[in-house]
């Protein structure tokens, strides 16, 4: 009986591994410094997020926003996973902090059998300015390849902002489905010559192409066939 249970557990583990399920643990709700470091990856639904990076500067130096001050909340909406990044980005002439800049980067991979990504959205909240202050968040994405070169891929850009020239709190881009997206956000907070600016929330989401029923059946059949093959081998 014990031998049979062990074989079944081994069979189940092999099927999951070869089917590409469970590549990474769930993305945690924590501060961004816990996402940094070689080899870290995490999953939301059928997507794996990896290669996280962060850099922050300020004018004058010494007032940048450290990764440990940026909170990360995974967005687990079915068909539209992503992240909420929260921090106290701010600049003002009165405080002497004239500008703060933060770069957030990572990539998204569709797990085997998962739904392709066909839409990326960028949003901001808790935002405001006065006088010459300004908030800009520009996002560069590469579809199908890695930044910065994006060799073999496709460059795209999203942009949101709040300043005297206008307000745009949400941007969205749709495209043919891809299995890999590389992302870099540039968060720029400036006081200008006589103003203030603040930002507390940035969201990024990746909408999915629903797999065709035939693809789902084919994937399921492949997994079942693999299970049958392994079962026969284990019984020998």
Tens of pLDDT along 170-208?
999 999 999 999 999 999 999 999 999 999 999 999 998
Tens digits of residue pLDDT in 13-65? 443 444 444 468 999 999 999 999 889 999 999 999 999 999 999 999 999 99
Please name the residue that has the structure tokens 């720029």: 188
User: Residue 78 pLDDT > 50, yes or no?
Assistant: yes
- Of 94-103, 150-159, 205-214, the least confident: 205-214
CA distance 70 to 177: 30
Task: Give, in order, the Cα–Cα distances in Å from 216 to each of 6, 8, 64, 219.
Answer: 29, 24, 47, 5
Residue 125 has pLDDT above 70, yes or no: yes
- Whether the pTM exceeds 0.85: the reply is no
Tokens of 206: 């990746």
**The CATH classification of domain 28-211, taken from the options 3.80.10, 3.40.50, 2.60.120, 1.20.1180:** 2.60.120
Torsion, CA 41, CA 47, CA 51, CA 52, rounded to 10: -90
Q: Percent of the chain beyond pLDDT 90?
A: 77
pLDDT digits (tens, 9 = 90+) for 89-118: 999 999 999 999 999 999 999 999 999 999
């Amino acid at each position: 009986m014990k031998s049979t249970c062990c074989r079944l557990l081994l069979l189940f583990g092999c099927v999951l591994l070869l089917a590409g399920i469970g590549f990474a643990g769930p993305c945690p709700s924590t501060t961004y410094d816990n996402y940094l470091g070689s080899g870290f990856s995490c999953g939301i639904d059928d997507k794996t997020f990896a290669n996280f990076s962060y850099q922050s500067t300020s004018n004058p130096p010494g007032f940048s926003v450290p990764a440990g001050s940026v909170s990360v909340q995974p967005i687990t909406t079915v068909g539209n996973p992503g992240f909420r990044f929260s921090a106290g980005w701010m600049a003002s002439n009165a405080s002497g902090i004239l500008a703060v800049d933060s770069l957030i980067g990572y990539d998204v991979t569709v797990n085997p059998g998962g739904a392709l990504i066909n839409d990326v959205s960028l949003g901001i909240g808790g935002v405001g300015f006065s006088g010459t202050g300004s908030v800009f968040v520009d996002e560069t994405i590469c579809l199908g390849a890695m930044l910065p070169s994006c060799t073999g891929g496709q460059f795209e850009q999203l942009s949101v902002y709040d300043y005297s020239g206008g307000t745009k709190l949400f941007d969205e881009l749709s495209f043919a489905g891809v299995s890999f997206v590389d992302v870099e956000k540039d968060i720029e907070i400036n006081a200008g010559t006589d103003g203030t600016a603040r930002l507390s929330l940035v969201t990024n989401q990746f909408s999915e192409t629903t797999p065709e029923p035939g693809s789902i059946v084919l994937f399921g059949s492949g997994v079942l066939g693999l299970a049958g093959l392994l079962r026969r081998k284990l019984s020998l």
